[in-house]
Amino acid sequence: MLLTIGDLIDDVLVRRAGGLERGTDNVATIRHARGGSAANVAAAAAASVATRFIGCVGDDPAGDALVRRLEQAGVDVRVQRGGRTGTIVILVDDEGERTMITDRGAAAELGPIDPAWLDDVEWVHVPLYGFSTEPSRSAVVEAIDRMLRPPVRVSLDLSSVATMRELGTRELRALIARVRPDVVFANRDEAACAGALALDLSSVEAYIVKRGGEPVVVTVGGDEVHVAVEPVEGLIDSTGAGDAFAAGYIATAMSGADVASAARAGADLARRALTELGAL
Residue 136 burial (10 A CB sphere; 0-12, 13-18, 19+): buried
CB of 128 closer than 8 Å to CB of 160: yes
Q: What is the DSSP string of 83-125?
A: S-EEEEEEEE-TTS-EEEEEEEEGGGG--PPPGGGGTT-SEEE
Flag whether 108 is in a domain: yes
Question: Which residues, 6 or more positions from 182, have their beta carbon under 8 angstroms from its beta carbon?
Answer: 153, 154, 155, 204, 205, 206
Flag whether 280 is in a domain: no
Q: What is the pLDDT of residue 168?
A: 97
Q: What is the pTM of this model?
A: 0.95
What radius of gyration, in Å, describes the C-alpha atoms of the chain? 18
Comparing C-alpha atoms, which of 165, 155, 157, 167 is closest to residue 242? 157
Q: What is the pLDDT of residue 239?
A: 87
Locate the DSSP E strands across 73-227. Answer: 76-81, 85-92, 98-105, 123-127, 153-157, 183-187, 206-211, 214-220, 223-227
Q: What is the pLDDT of residue 235?
A: 82
Flag whether 35 is in a domain: yes
Under the banding of pLDDT at 50, 70 and 90, the label for residue 256 is very high
Flag whether 63 is in a domain: yes
CB atoms within 10 A of CB 243: 31
Domain count, the chain: 1
Determine the average pLDDT of the residues in 63-89.
Answer: 97
* In the predicted structure, residue 238 carries a pLDDT above the cut 90: no
Number of separate helices (H) and strands (E) present in the chain: 7, 13
Under the banding of pLDDT at 50, 70 and 90, the label for residue 129 is very high
Comparing C-alpha atoms, which of 203, 186, 204 is closest to residue 195? 186
For residue 118, give its domain range: 2-274
Flag whether 279 is in a domain: no
Residue 139 burial (10 A CB sphere; 0-12, 13-18, 19+): buried
Distance between terminal CA atoms of the chain? Answer: 20
The domain spanning residue 111 has which CATH number?
3.40.1190.20
Q: By percentage, how much of the chain surpasses pLDDT 70? A: 100
**Lowest mean pLDDT across 17-31, 61-75, 218-232:** 17-31
Determine the average pLDDT of the residues in 231-260.
Answer: 93
Flag whether 136 is in a domain: yes
Determine the average pLDDT of the residues in 98-109.
Answer: 94
Q: What is the pLDDT of residue 211?
A: 95
Under the banding of pLDDT at 50, 70 and 90, the label for residue 52 is very high
CB of 11 closer than 8 Å to CB of 239: yes
